[in-house]
Amino acid sequence: MSGLFGPLQEAQAYVIQRSLRPHLLGRDPLANELLLDQMLRLDRHGRSGLSMTGVSPVDCALWDLKGKAWGQPVYRLLGGPTRPSVPAYASMLRFSLEPTAAAEAAREYQAKGFTAQKWFFRHGPGDGEAGKAKNVATARALREAVGPDYALMFDAVMGWDTPYAIDMVKRLAPLNPAWMEEPIPPERVGGLRQIREAAGFPIATGEHVYTRWQVKELLVAGAVDVLQTDPDWTGGITELTKICALASAFETPVVAHGHSLLPALHVAAAQSPVTVPRVEFLIRSQENKQYFHKPIYRPEGGDVRLPDLPGLGLVIDESKVESRTTMEFKA
């Protein structure tokens, strides 16, 4: 029996092969709490960033193995299900930001049943006032396209600074955003709090935040309204469940970043809908991410059904595999 998770980025595979593999061989694979705690301590520089992106998929694979060992989907081992399906929002990365084209796409995905969408701003401080105007023009076209009450989110991908972000959120506030995501990098906690105070609407961050301790800093500082810690990066399913418990004590929802769908979906299915109201579905990435998977999990009417297979529900579609290569990293 084996646990499965992927696909991985090459840098993640490097961390697993060079750092984690020697430590994990011969260990009890069902003792995931012990293994995660030790992986977090293994490298004194390894509690954040690249090292955590290697730890996280190992933890997800261990949960897949545990689910297969018990013959149950992971969400049942975590205490679920709390619902038969989980709402997904349409994440519109790589769609045109030209106002007319963006509005047309927004209406299309609203008609498909998605109850929320997130759009990504292209322009930042280096583009000056003209860039701000273009950002606002796209946002205004989107709001007009989907109506006044539809959940519409925006993402700056950490590309702004605090003064620029404060000005932008003031300009966006009349458009009633559901949240503004990653206006600045998340370690700039004081700046995030200033932006949150200026915005008057929710500020989201977390996909580049690692472990519950970094999350706690954001929560205690009053710097975040929506957490987006990603199970692929923040410490896996084990750590994300701890983050959900912490966030619930602060009455702060968790909407995991959608680098992969399945681990976030299993955690959501075991949490209260108040704590985890929805998951992210990257419209133009998930088909590629799940290309070798069987079945492929997609939203239907805006909701993603829960897997009924044991573990994560991830099975390799052998008909799509042409060859296999074992990766080895030499010193």
Q: Is 87 left (phi over 0), alpha (psi -120 to 50) or beta?
A: beta
Catalytic residue, from 257, 259, 266, 293: name it. Answer: 257
12's tokens: 């993640």
Length of the chain: 331
263: Cβ–Cβ under 8 A, 6 or more apart, which residues? Answer: 5, 60, 63, 74, 231, 232, 236, 237, 240, 312
Give me 270's structure tokens: 């075991």
CA distance 188 to 59: 28
Question: Catalytic: 257?
Answer: yes
User: For residue 261, what is the enclosing H or E element?
Assistant: none
The angle subtended at Cα 51 by Cα 225 and Cα 89, nearest 5°, is 35
Question: How many CB atoms sit inside 10 A of residue 291's CB?
Answer: 11
Q: Which residues are catalytic?
A: 257
